[in-house]
Amino acid sequence: MPHEYEVRNEESVLSENMETVAAPLSGGGGTAKPEDAHGAIDIKAVTHEFPGNVLAVSDANLRVRGGEFVSIVGPSGCGKTTLLNLLAGLIDVQTGSISLAGSPPKAGRHDVAYMLARDCLFPWRTALSNATLGGEFRGVPKKERVQRARDMLRKVGLSGFENNYPKALSHGMRQRVALARTFSLSSSILLMDEPFGALDAQTKLQLEDVLLDLWTEERRTVVFITHDLNEAVTLSDRVIVMSARPGRIIKDIPIPLERPRSARALQKDPLYHEIYAEVWTWLEQGLNGGDDG
């Protein structure tokens, strides 16, 4: 029931999010192919209200093309994570409709993976063992899931740390493990809820470049929640701006920066700063409940 969601504790939310990656896969855990089932997302006239007449999202409409990277920004409490949880099937759609690759949201779908704001690593498992967790839940053969996880740890810069436990890893390294765990799955749709929000500026830039490299190689569909406008512009094909609660989508801003991109190199690009200024202008309007003009 949707009204039960907001009172669940963190452990139960983690459990349900892990269910999102736990459905058995056909064809194992290989590289995602977004063109398989297209990976497109459609949100039509979605409104969601929590108990106490708390209207979180109002009449949201959004289409994300398969293989597209879309970020959603907006004031705190505007319904960004609510939208993500609706996409993941963790809360039920009340009004309107949502489809992912042509079918409604459901927790446990094999084509959807969810990366939380916290790394949520299990302290009794090594970096490699944590990175294989999704494949283990999905029944991917051990040799295949270990090889995939090992390859992803290498790509995120953790070669040589496979046998380290979380307590021996920095915060940034733990997030790299979480990123490897997510990309180790073959899901064509990735939902990412502020995965770098708690990191220092330098580590965040490094991980943005890692994410850009992974996304460029595999071109999965990504819906990315962030409060960091620099991050949104750096990573995205489009940035969606939401108003203050009740959250409405007030602007869809295309990002015409050429790919491949480097988070650090973009800091010197005048076009990057022009786009940032546009996003910031719309975010300010969103704080006042403004509409798309």
What confidence tens digit (pLDDT) does each residue in 88-116 have?
999 999 999 999 999 999 988 889 999 98
Q: What is the pLDDT of residue 83?
A: 95
77 lies in a domain? yes
**pTM of the predicted model as reported, rounded to 2 decimal places:** 0.85
- The partner residues of 238 in beta bridges, in order of sequence, read 70, 254
End-to-end alpha carbon distance in the chain:
37
64 lies in a domain? yes
For residue 34, the enclosing domain spans 2-287
Give the pLDDT mean for 45-73: 95
Decide: 192 and 139 in contact? Cβ < 8 Å: no
Amino acid in position 138: R
Neighbours of 175 (CB within 10 A): 26
292 lies in a domain? no
DSSP secondary structure letter of residue 95: E
Neighbours of 9 (CB within 10 A): 8
Q: What is the pLDDT of residue 291?
A: 55
Tell me: pLDDT of 7 over 80. no
Q: What is the pLDDT of residue 113?
A: 93
Q: What is the pLDDT of residue 18?
A: 45
- The partner residues of 113 in beta bridges, in order of sequence, read 190
36-45 residue pLDDT tens: 446 899 999 9
Give the pLDDT mean for 273-279: 97
Residue 50 banded pLDDT, cuts 50, 70, 90: very high
Domain count, the chain: 1
193 lies in a domain? yes
293 lies in a domain? no
Q: Tell me how far apart the alpha carbons of residues 114 and 14 are, in angstroms, rounded to a whole number.
A: 10
Q: What is the pLDDT of residue 289?
A: 64
- Mean pLDDT score of the chain: 86
121 lies in a domain? yes
Q: What is the pLDDT of residue 270?
A: 96
Residue 20 banded pLDDT, cuts 50, 70, 90: very low
- The partner residues of 100 in beta bridges, in order of sequence, read 41, 103
101 lies in a domain? yes
Q: What is the pLDDT of residue 118?
A: 87
Q: What is the pLDDT of residue 9?
A: 37
Identify the weakest region by mean pLDDT among 140-144, 199-203, 215-219: 199-203
Decide: 22 and 44 in contact? Cβ < 8 Å: no
Tell me: pLDDT of 292 over 50. no
Q: Tell me how far apart the alpha carbons of residues 172 and 101 are, in angstroms, rounded to a whole number.
A: 32
3-state secondary structure at position 33: coil
201 lies in a domain? yes
206-263 residue pLDDT tens: 899 999 999 999 899 999 999 999 999 999 999 999 999 999 999 999 999 999 999 8
63-77 residue pLDDT tens: 999 999 999 999 988
Decide: 73 and 227 in contact? Cβ < 8 Å: yes
- Of 140, 160, 214, whose CA–CA distance to 182 is shortest? 214
Residue 17 banded pLDDT, cuts 50, 70, 90: very low
Q: What is the pLDDT of residue 240?
A: 97
Decide: 184 and 149 in contact? Cβ < 8 Å: yes
List the CATH number of the domain containing 179. 3.40.50.300
Q: What does the DSSP assignment read for 70-86? A: EEEE-STTSSHHHHHHH
